[in-house]
Amino acid sequence: MKAVNIGVIGLGTVGAGTVDLLHRNQEEITRRAGREIKVTCAAVRDLSRGRHCDTAGITLTTDPNEIVSDPSIDVVVELIGGCEVAFDLVTAALAQGKHVVTANKALIATRGNEIFEQASTAGLVVAFEAAVAGGIPVIKILREGLSGNRVEKLIGILNGTCNFILSEMQEKDADYAEVLTQAQQAGYAEADPYFDVEGVDAAHKLTILASIAYGVHLNFQSVYVEGISALTRDDIIFAQEMGYRIKHLGMARRSTTGLDLRVHPCLIAEDHLLANVTGVMNAVVVEGDAVGETLYYGAGAGAQPTASAVVADLIDVVRTLTADPGNRVPHLAFQASALAKPGIIPLAEVYCAHYLRLTVQDQPGVLADITKILGGHGVSIKAIHQHGTGDEDGKVPVVIVTHVAQEAAVAAAVSGIEALPASAHPVVRIRLETLEGH
């Protein structure tokens, strides 16, 4: 059978990893796909730079449009990231009748609806397994492996940088800023860490997973997003003392009133499988009505794990080349005409348990005032811990774990507590997820 010709746009970390993997496992890949998958050209920014892969037999160009318009190319692999140029190139490739494979989570999360519509109209496939959780084939798992289920919830450690920083803060009893610097030096965090540590990257990924799990359009703007940059060493220690770990999670749940889509730090029980996912690893828990709770774990980033997903997509695309487009797996798991439009539950209406860290003057009656305010807003208390006996100014940290309560009630109670004369600092507030079961 004729080889399938691939054009790769971008030979950075993932691009070079992809070329390398296709080359290294060429024989096994051909045995699986039934035909050769061959990178014939690649677009790079600078022809004179060294590469992390063998480019023998690959025509290099600095103009990605040459790849997009080359009639000998069957599939375009977009690996430059970003939304502007990538969007133009992907849509141009589709306009030229080419299938597309991409690892670009920002592009899919924010422009995927337009891209998939164009692709479907043209009978083409846009594959994006590499956009979420690196080498863990979680898109395939959700879209095909669990296709008989109603997904009840989906909870993931979706950003390796956040998970690495939180693991290190815990293990080394270190502060956020200190660990971030180390992570940057070790290459686990970008020079500008904003997208990772503020939760934007995890929100892109959650957007994609939620869309596939629930059969809704991509809806990035509806996700509530909070990062990890405000977490302190104290909170990690206090949580640990009570049998919890703090993890940065992306969560999607379905209820009768709509979808609950959130990305933020969470306390979770230390014996939950997710609590033991450390370092740069990713993991996703999917609970389906038939399958129950399942978990998928692996490296969420890096040249080779991401290349693993890109190559799996390439093999899938090659297999669909002769399939009737109407019978292919839909981009968002459900037929495009059958995507639903559920309401997104506003954060204020979400129910969640909370960890609250207060800093108060250590004086009689303060706890009574605090518990009265919480009770007045219907927020019931599971545990109160006072840590230490106060600093020189007589201030002490008090940690309160609440039972499940509505966000709006907790917010109102927190405002009330902060208005107390004995309250010395803003209340630190981290949600606590039971993850139901375990």
CA angle, corner 110, sides to 303 and 333, nearest 5? 80
Q: Residue 307, interface with a copy of itself (CB under 8 A)?
A: yes
Buried b (16+ CB within 10 A) or exposed e, 288-321: beeeebeebbbbbbbbbbbbbbbbbbbbbbbebe
Q: Residue 261, interface with a copy of itself (CB under 8 A)?
A: no
Write out the two tokens for 317: 């695309």
- Ranges of H-type helices in 96-199: 105-121, 138-140, 160-172, 176-185, 194-197
By three-state DSSP, how is residue 111 classified?
A: helix
Q: Residue 289, interface with a copy of itself (CB under 8 A)?
A: yes
Binder among 12, 81, 258, 330 for a copy of itself (CB under 8 A): 330
Binding mask 205-244 for a copy of itself (x = CB under 8 A): ----------x-----------------------------
Q: Residue 335, interface with a copy of itself (CB under 8 A)?
A: yes
Instruction: Give the CB-side neighbour count of residue 180, counting CA atoms within 13 A.
Output: 18
Candidates 4-12, 29-37, 218-226, 257-265: pick the segment binding a copy of itself (CB under 8 A): 29-37
Binder among 70, 74, 129, 152 for a copy of itself (CB under 8 A): 129
205 is catalytic: yes
Q: Residue 252, interface with a copy of itself (CB under 8 A)?
A: no
d(Cα 178, Cα 240) in Å, to the nearest integer? 20
Query: Minimum Å distance from CB 313 to a copy of itself?
Result: 9
- In sequence order, what DSSP letters do the residues of 299-323 get, joined into one string? E-SSHHHHHHHHHHHHHHHHHHTTS
Query: Minimum Å distance from CB 103 to a copy of itself?
Result: 13
Binder among 65, 91, 149, 406 for a copy of itself (CB under 8 A): 149
DSSP state, 222? G
Q: Measured between alpha carbons, how far is residue 275 from residues 69, 97, 116, 167, 267 in Å? A: 48, 45, 35, 10, 9
Q: Residue 36, interface with a copy of itself (CB under 8 A)?
A: no
Binding mask 8-27 for a copy of itself (x = CB under 8 A): ---------x---xx-xx--
Tell me which residues are annotated as active site.
205
Site residues, a copy of itself (CB under 8 A): 1, 17, 21-22, 24-25, 28-34, 129, 134-137, 140-141, 144-150, 215, 273, 276, 288-299, 302, 304-305, 307-312, 314-316, 318-324, 326-330, 333-335, 338
